[in-house]
Amino acid sequence: MNRKLVVLASLLLLAGCGADEQAPAEQPKGSAAEEQNDNKQHETEKEASSNTEQAETEAAAGLEGEAKEEAGQAVPQYRMKDDFSIQNIENPDEKVVLLTIDDAPDKYALEMANTLKDLNVKAIFFVNGHFIDTPEEGEVLKQIHQMGFSIGNHTYNHKTLKELTEEQQRKEIIDLNDRIEELTGERPQFFRAPFGMNTDYSKKLAAEEKMLLMNWTYGYDWEKNYQSKDALADIMVNTPLLRNGANLLMHDREWTSAALRDIVIGLEEKGYMIADPALIETPANQKTAAQ
C-alpha cells in the first residue's frame, strides 16, 4: 500500500515537471525582451490606427466627391483672362467661344433658350430685375434655369453704376441676387455691369458675393446696321474680332433671337466649340478646382 502511494506521488511529480518545461518562461519585468514586445505591439497598434485614419479620409473624400457630383458641381475646365476672353485650363489652344445674352428675360429669352437647347449648347443669361418682378416673369426665368442655363446678375434696373451711391449700387446688385435665388434656388456666379461700367464698390460687392466679374470681347446687336437676322449672323461669325476664347455679347432682342441659330452653326462650322459656363472657374467654385 505504501509502495503504491510512492509510485503515484512520483508520477504526479513527473507530470508537473513536464508541464513546466512546455510552458513559456515568464519574462522578468523591465527586461529587454519585454520592452521589445511592447514596442512591437505599439507599432502594430500605431500602424492599425494610421490605416484606419487613411481609410476614413479616403472614404470621406469619396463621399464628398460623390456629393459634388450629385449636386451638379464640376471641376472647372475654363478660366477667364484679363481681357474677358476664356481659356481652356489644360488645353489653351482649344478653339472655344462663350455666348452671353443680356437684358433677359424680356420678350425673347425663352425662345433663345429653346434654340440653344435644340442645338445642344449653353450660354449665360444676364438678368435685369425689372424683368422678373411679376410671378409670370419669374416663371420664365425658372424655365430657363431648369433648362440648364447659367443665370448672371445684370443689376435690377440697368442703371449706370457710376451715377449711383454705394447704397443704391448695393440694392441694384444684392436685391437682384436675392430675387434670383428666390426663384431658382441658386445665387448667380457671374456679374456684368450695365454698359460694362463698373465701380470700385461694384467690384467689391461682386467679390463678396463670389461672382466672376465679366464684360465681353465683341458684340453688335445694338448697332443699327446689324438689327436684322442676316446682317447680325454674318458679322458675329465673320468679324475679325472672332478668336480663340472670344466672349460674345448678345441681347434679348427680336433680331438676335432670329439670328441665333445661324450664329451658333456658323461658329461651329469654323471649328469653334461653345463653352459651358458652368465649367468656368469662378470665386464660388475655385475651392472645387483646387481639390
pLDDT tens digits, residue range 225-244?
A: 999 999 999 999 999 999 99
**Under 8 Å CB-to-CB from 26, ≥6 apart: which residues?**
none
pLDDT at 56 over 80: no
Task: Quickly state the pLDDT bin for 47 (edges 50, 70, 90).
Answer: low
Max distance between CA atoms of the chain, in angstroms, equals 135
Higher pLDDT, 15 or 171: 171
Mean pLDDT to the nearest integer, 78-105: 97
pLDDT tens digits, residue range 193-206?
A: 999 999 999 999 99
Q: What contacts 24+ positions apart, CB below 8 Å, involve 264-270?
A: 264/99, 264/115, 264/116, 264/119, 264/121, 265/119, 266/233, 266/236, 266/237, 266/238, 267/97, 267/236, 267/237, 267/242, 270/95, 270/237, 270/242
- The whole-number pLDDT of residue 285 equals 87
Q: 106-110, 152-156, 285-289: which has the minimum mean pLDDT?
A: 285-289
Q: For the chain, give every domain's residue range.
A: 33-72, 78-290
pLDDT tens digits, residue range 68-84?
A: 444 456 799 999 999 99
Domain 78-290 in CATH 3.90.550.10? The answer is: no
As given in the structure block, the three cell numbers for residue 132 are 422678373
Task: Quickly state the pLDDT bin for 31 (edges 50, 70, 90).
Answer: very low
Contact 205, 174 (CB under 8 A): yes
- The whole-number pLDDT of residue 63 equals 41
Mean pLDDT to the nearest integer, 40-46: 49
